[in-house]
Homo-oligomer: A and B are copies of this chain.
Amino acid sequence: MKPSYHHKDLRKQLVSAGLRQLNRDGLVNFSMRRLAQDLGVSHAAAYRHFASKEALLAAIFLETSAAFRAALSASLVQPPPLANASSASSSAVAPPDASVALTRLGRAYVRFFLDNPEALGLFSALPEEQNLMLSLIASLDGAVPATASAPLIELASHAGADCFDSLPDDSAFGLLRGLVRAIRGQPAFRHLSEREVMLGYWAKVHGLASLLVTQKNFLPPDQLDASLDRLLETAF
């Protein structure tokens, strides 16, 4: 089998091999030419599929963020076992309690970045970084198509400063907002606005992810899951 002039779906291989190189060498050392060489293809071959290096990174970002979204959604629908697993409810689509749901969501968030360390850098080093984190939140509802060809701009354009109020209640983000509202019902959080409660939750979760990714051993690794649960539950 000759390696065949036409590589046939080079595109997918660029994205997946690119992701691999990203996690190996870091974002700063990400190189188009080395990537092409690794795939046994000449440099500039990638430019038949991506307009620029940034576009490739955007595609990788899109794939990663799709996985991210899936992980978060899964944590709400089919919760991974908490530290103290008691009831065996088979298909609890609606989470029993807001703070439990937020704990699950938070744990999935942190776990994802621990499993994909480079994703954090990717998510914040891309051109539309200003709107990125919120577009991720917004993209929870699937309103933004994850089709890999769409440039990042398109994704980010859906999430401005006002996306907090503009998404429908039955979207995933709307559900998150609902959880936040429920939390805000507790007397301890009454003096905060919705956005403040939301930001406080997200900040804690995101901060845990950031710090733990770069400080993997700050907490004893074997008790990490339990620690995470405790920390997230304590937030509310």
Count copies of this chain in the complex. 2
- Kindly state whether residue A189 has any CB partner on chain B within 8 Å: yes
Q: Does A207 interact with chain B (Cβ within 8 Å)?
A: yes
C-alpha gap A130/B216 in the complex (Å): 8
Say whether chain A's binding surface is mostly helix, strand, loop, or mixed: helix
Write out the residue numbers on chain B whose beta carbons fall within 8 Å of the beta carbon of A130: 214-216
Cα A192 to Cα B223 with chains together (Å): 12
- List chain B residues, Cβ under 8 A from A191: 230
Number of A residues with CB within 8 Å of any CB on chain B: 43
Contacts of A161 in B (CB 8 A): 215, 217-218
Interface residues of A in 45-83 (CB under 8 A from B): none
Q: Chain A 203-218 against B: per-residue CB contact (8 Å), 1 yes, 0 no?
A: 1111110111011111
**Cβ proximity bits A124-145 to B, threshold 8 Å, 1 near / 0 not:** 1100011111100000000000
Whether the Cβ atoms of A214 and B125 lie closer than 8 Å is no
| Alpha-carbon separation in the docked complex, A215 to B134 (Å) | 8
Q: Are A200 and B231 touching (Cβ within 8 A)?
A: yes
Q: Inside 8 A of A112's CB, which chain B residues have their CB?
A: none
Q: Which residue of B lies closest to A129 (CB)?
A: B214
Q: CA–CA, A62 to B218, complex, Å?
A: 23
A88 at the interface (CB under 8 A from B): no
B134 near A231: Cβ-Cβ < 8 Å: no
Q: A191-B230, A196-B231 are in contact. Are A207 and B215 (CB under 8 A)?
A: no
A27 to B26, CA, bound (A): 14
Known: A200-B204, A202-B207, A207-B202. A192 touches B231 (CB 8 A): yes
A158 to chain B, nearest CB (A): 15
- Type the 1/0 row for A189-203, where 1 means its CB is closer than 8 Å to any CB of B: 101110110011011
